[in-house]
Amino acid sequence: MPSICLFFQVHQPRRLRRYTVFDIDQRHDYENEALNREVLHKVSDKCYLPASDRIVRLLRKYEGDFRVAFSLTGTLIEQLESERPDVLESFQRMNETGCVEWLNGTYDHSLASLYSPAEFREQVQRHHAKIDGLFGQKAVTFCNTEMIYNNDIARAVGEMGYQVILTEGADRILPGGDPWISCRAASHPGLAVLLRHYRLSDDISFRFSATDWFEYPLTAKKYAGHLSQNGEAVEVINLFMDYETFGEHHWSETGIFDFLWELPGEILKYPDFRFATPAQIIPDPSASPLLDVEETVSWADSERDVTAWTGNGMQRDALRCLFQMEDRVKQSGDDGFLKVWRMLQTSDHFYYMCTKRFADGDVHRYFNPWGSPYDAYISYMNILDDFDRTLHK
């Protein structure tokens, strides 16, 4: 029986204020608090609350036949705790149904898995404790920042005790040429790997409201029909996307909430399908292929690699300077310094410095609060300069 695994990533960064050379040694507040509140309230009202209301009602309606998985980053949770506790309450209502799996990741949605194994482990442990405290679940499934994955990361995640990891079903890594099967990590065979079906996922997350798309308008009935046409060999269809797909990337006027409401019922009309969360799709080790990924993949951009955050000299320079501070920050014993340093790790800061063009460039510009990647880099490096000086003092 093929499983439908529906997973949502929920994340909002702490965006940085414009910080000039004249601010260095003069002020040490780095966040654009007004913009952070504005975006959080907008996305909460347009996406989080209306989407969560529908999902809670769907979970109750189908009484276990509909299931979903979520990953909430620590940066988002902290903002919700201080500004929008009603949104956190909506997630807790989901949790009460017993049909939601809460995943772990890096607390600060950082690139630590690429730069510091020790920091990576610490952030994962902090996130594990936070999710357990909020929802009473000790997570067994892991989703790294932006689904970044390679053999070394899989080994580290497996050694931390996780049973499942999610990543992108990039064509170049697919065993057998398709994402329909669950795999095991070559570097840690006890770790199951679920591969995102990016074409079917992106039909919803990117193309749903594209009026020039040949499938427009996409209805839940049509989409469920597409899923059913994939043959008997299908073991699992992993549909992974940003939660902001609903109401933010595609506004309510597009019909995206109606699509969400109707989708479980249309899928369940096919008796061979069932909804399952990642922890329910752990494969038989004796029958699952090994996934060997030396070259790092992610779910970002058409390349599905890490060039969205490390593709140019500005990004690499900023990351090098940031992680060079790790020993001094931790040896300071100052929790305030550690919190700021980790806030500066959030991957979005480096995403804003990306200089890609064409289709991927359009996506980057949509999410970028800065006038240009160069503005983002200059301001970030000024902040790092001030933080470094403050740390020395």
> What are the tens digits of pLDDT across the range 306-323?
999 999 999 999 999 999
Q: Is the pLDDT confidence value at 232 over 70? A: no
Over residues 54-76, the mean pLDDT reads 98
pLDDT above 70 covers a percentage of the chain that reads: 96
Say if residue 390's pLDDT is above 80: yes
Distance between CA atoms of residues 182 and 193, nearest Å: 6
SS3 64: coil
Average confidence (pLDDT) over 249-275: 97
Residue 9's pLDDT band, with cuts at 50, 70 and 90, is very high
DSSP output for 237-288: EEEEEEGGGBTTTB-GGGTHHHHHHHHHHHHHTSTT-EE--GGGGPPPTTTS
Is 31 annotated in the active site?
A: no
Residue partners of 391: CB distance under 8 A and separation at least 6: 325, 328, 329, 332, 337
Which residue in 101, 146, 244, 266 is the catalytic one? Answer: 146
Beta-bridge partner residues of 70:
8, 102
Judged by DSSP in three states, 68 sits in strand
- How far is 212 from 320, CA to CA, in rounded Å? 42
Residue 53 token pair: 């209301």
Report the chain's terminal Cα–Cα distance, integer Å.
62
Q: Are 322 and 329 in contact (CB under 8 A)?
A: no
Taking the mean position of all CA atoms in its chain, how far away is CA 112?
Answer: 15
Structure tokens at 194: 């679920």
Q: What 8-state DSSP symbol labels residue 45?
A: I
- DSSP-assigned letters across all residues of 162-202: -SEEEEE--GGG-GGG-SSS-EEETTEEEEEEEEE-HHHHH
In Å, what is the CA distance from 75 to each residue of 14, 82, 171, 234, 347? 7, 11, 31, 36, 11
pLDDT-based confidence at residue 342 (cuts at 50, 70, 90): very high
pLDDT at site 364: 44
Q: Taking residues 214-240, what's their average pLDDT? A: 91
- With residues binned 3-state (H G I as helix, E B as strand, rest as coil), the percentages for the chain, rounded to 5, are 50, 15, 35
User: Is the per-residue pLDDT at 28 higher than 90?
Assistant: yes
Parse the chain into domains and list their residue ranges.
3-291, 307-392
Does this model's pTM top 0.85? My answer is yes
Contact 234, 245 (CB under 8 A): no
pLDDT tens across 150-203, in order? 999 999 999 999 999 999 999 999 876 678 888 999 999 999 999 999 999 999
Q: Domain 3-291 carries which CATH code? A: 3.20.110.20
Q: What is the DSSP string of 291-330?
A: E---S-B-SSTTTTSSHHHHSSHHHHHHHHHHHHTHHHHH
Could you report the per-residue pLDDT of 75-105, keeping only the tens digit for each?
999 999 999 999 999 999 999 999 999 999 9
Instruction: Identify the pLDDT of residue 283.
Output: 75
Sorting pLDDT into bands at 50, 70 and 90, what band is 4? very high
